[in-house]
Structure 1
Amino acid sequence: IRKRRKKEIDLAGYLGIPTGSMAKWKYYGSTSYLRYVEEICIFLNTTPNYLFLGHEETVESLSFEEKDIIRMYRDLDEGRKNCIKETLRYLT
């Protein structure tokens, strides 16, 4: 988090979890963070490889905002996805 100049409190807010959960991950070895790996990578603009192995490998093809839009899109049902597609076709 520090290398990416981000704050733990901001990550907790992004994930919608209490800051205490992050302390459990960091200090007590809890592995409940595994279900958030994709979102953590999006927030930090990095890859799971970097998170787990420490290899510096950033994802530069998409901005944070673009990744966030994709994440939200994936959470939609098919009907809403079609609505988004139609709107984008209209706007472009």
Structure 2
Amino acid sequence: MKLEAENSPVIADVSQAQLIKTLKKLKSYGPSSFACITDDEGNYVQVAGGRFTCFIERYDAKSKRLFRGYHSNSSTNFEGGTLLSFGGG
């Protein structure tokens, strides 16, 4: 598996410790706002944001299906919604 994160070098054969360290650094603002881990078949999980606002998406290469995470209960901190802003377009 390879790990890519904004403003970081690509890590091939990523370890669990490297993955955790990278994910803990993610923030909706700042130098690293998104990361993606991809396997040899093209399946991936990508995340953006961090701390209080985040986005997660998984792609299954075999079925070509995309799954996005969501929470059915709105956050009391952001009852009217919130704008997520990430680097990388």
Q: TM-score range by the shorter chain?
A: under 0.3
Work out which of the two has the higher radius of gyration on C-alpha atoms and give 1 or 2. Answer: 1
Larger RCO: Structure 1 or Structure 2 (Cα < 8 Å, ≥ 6 residues apart)? 2
Q: Which has the higher strand share?
A: 2
- TM-score with structure 1 setting the length: 0.24
Q: Which has the higher helix share?
A: 1
